[in-house]
Amino acid sequence: MTLVQLEVFVSLAELKSFTLTAKQLAVSQSAISHALKALEQQWRVQLFYRNNNEVELTAIGLELAVYAREMLNISRALKQKIADTQGFKSGKISIGSFGASSSNVILPLIMEKFSALYPDVDILIEEGSDSQIKQWIAERKIDVGFVVLPEEHFDYYPLIEDTFVALIPKSIPLSKQRYVNLHELVEYPFLMTTAGSQPYIENLFQQKQLTPKIQGYFSQILSIVHMVNNQVGVSIVADLALDHHLLQHYTELVKLPLEPHVKRSIALAVKNKHQISPLIQEFIKIAQSI
């Protein structure tokens, strides 16, 4: 078993295509097939179901892929640690981001500072839901990911507190208030986000035993802003998810705090803090300094 074979195995598991895997690893498809066949013979298991150029992990293949990712991650951390002791700051890191709050606000600030200090480091960003980020961390598909606390399964590093706010059309009386509460919001059509904040917003209403009048579900924060600005309904969003410069152009809505205030804590999480590379340590250090 070699690291090259493990890299082929993991890449093929993620891409599910010999063609795409060969392109990503810059080798021939026959080389991919040869490495996979050798690995299956060594382990005496079938890792994939094959359908021409497409593949799908078997049950045992799905389990072994988790360990293969861990081995590759440890190997990468080892190489980066050696490079770090020799004064080189190069390598590759992968980051999981859960949407507008982290992708639009926090991550750009971190990357600007990090890239200035380590221009030779390749950064890959994977964007997904909260649950996807946690799954990717557990499977070591990413090195580090943004999560919302509390978090019991991973080692984490707190970054920032975010506040939930209400978006209100100017045409309704609520817009004249200093703040709004959930009891008032259920009287109007509600625009629900399907991004990372959805479970938290739904839980807010459940805790008060309230049921909002859902007018629609939206994956993009900008769609919600458009809808509220056009007087379609009200909404609750994470304040960090809003582009406040862009919001100035939407003159028919107001942003109001909730009463009582509702906050969430955002952190960076890793599977095991004792196994992260020097570059990830530096990335986290920079993130906490922003």
pLDDT of residue 86: 58
Cα–Cα distance for residue pair 38/42, rounded to 1 Å: 6
What are the sequence ranges of the domains in the chain? 1-88, 160-263
On whether the CB atoms of residues 228 and 191 are closer than 8 A, the answer is yes
- Mark the ranges of the chain whose per-residue pLDDT is less than 50: none
Rounded-to-integer distance, Cα 288 and Cα 205, Å: 32
Whole-number pLDDT of residue 236:
96
Residues 6+ apart with CB under 8 A from 224: 167, 191, 193, 218, 235, 237
Which CATH class for the 160-263 domain? alpha beta
Please write the tens of the pLDDT for every residue from 110-132: 999 999 988 888 899 988 888 88
pLDDT score for 88: 54
Same fold, 1-88 and 160-263: no
> 1-88 has which CATH code?
1.10.10.10
The alpha-helical segments, DSSP class H, found in 118-185 are 130-138, 182-185
The b/e string for 240-253 (b: 16+ C-beta within 10 A; e otherwise) is bbbeeeeeeebeeb
The DSSP output letter for 28 is: -
Q: What is the pLDDT of residue 230?
A: 95
146 in Cβ contact with 267 (< 8 Å): yes
